[in-house]
Amino acid sequence: MKDVRLSVKVRNNLLLSAIEKAGFTSMPKFCKEMGAPYPHFMKIINMTSSPIRSNGELYPWIINICVKLNKTPNDLFNTDQLYHVLDTNRSEIEVSMDEIHGLLSYDTCVEDEQTTAYLEKFIDDNLSFRQAHVIKSRFGINCEHLTLEDCSDSLNVSRERVRQMESKSLRHLSKKATDGSSNLTESVK
């Protein structure tokens, strides 16, 4: 059994990037300005609907978006996004923590020193010293990223014990972050 269940959400990055590059930060405002129906537009973003109507032509508001963003349809949609739709744009897979570390680097998750400070304080305030050491070491938070083996050597415990501590600590931090007993989400905003 794997350590983590990873949720995946697929969205049209070509279109989203063009919208963001044009300076839009709100999809409802973007849709209003473009004359696009927000619910249908979000289905196209989520790739659960095609930008092509049943008669084989692009929706007029998609053409308007292309013109206003100064892009061709091929700039905003690849062939699959034009002609194939997903039943759902979400899925879950089971992965190990080592696979997670391969997908995400600490630099990707935490982008500035202030966020790092809030994250470190949240960990220190909600975990024991040993649990905090495991989480910080495994994710490289203000220290070198350690493997299970390296972390187990530093604590003089088995790799399995480190994995258990990591898993329990992540569940505890997740609960603290979502149950309202912590101000992490307000601090990071």
Write a three-state SS string for 72-109. CHHHHCCHHHHHCCCCCCEEEEEECHHHHHHHCCHHHH
Task: State which amino acid sits at residue 162.
Answer: V
H helix or E strand, kind and range, residue 173: helix 159-178
Match 């100064």 to its residue by tokens.
70
Q: d(Cα 65, Cα 41) in Å, to the nearest integer? A: 11
Query: Domain-by-domain residue ranges, the chain?
Result: 7-83, 96-188
Assigned fold of 96-188: Arc Repressor Mutant, subunit A (1.10.10)
Give the model's pLDDT for residue 48: 94
Q: d(Cα 79, Cα 109) in Å, to the nearest integer? A: 31
Q: Is the pLDDT of residue 143 over 80?
A: no
> What is the DSSP code string of 130-142?
HHHHHHHHHHTSS
Give the model's pLDDT for residue 187: 45
Q: Is the pLDDT of residue 189 over 70?
A: no
Mean pLDDT of the 2-12 span: 85
Give the model's pLDDT for residue 110: 47
Give the model's pLDDT for residue 118: 82
What would the two tokens of residue 166 be?
Answer: 């990591």
* Contact call for residues 81 and 20 (beta carbons, < 8 A): no
Q: Is the pLDDT of residue 53 over 90?
A: yes
Q: Is the pLDDT of residue 159 over 50?
A: yes
Q: Is the pLDDT of residue 19 over 70?
A: yes
Most confident residue range from 70-74, 137-141, 153-157: 70-74
Give the model's pLDDT for residue 40: 94
Q: d(Cα 139, Cα 116) in Å, to the nearest integer? A: 12
| pLDDT tens, position by position, 80-123 | 999 999 999 888 888 887 777 766 655 555 455 677 788 888 89
What does the mean pLDDT of the chain come to?
85
Q: Is the pLDDT of residue 57 over 80?
A: yes
Give the percent of the chain with pLDDT over 70.
Answer: 87
Provide the whole-model pTM: 0.53
Give the model's pLDDT for residue 186: 47
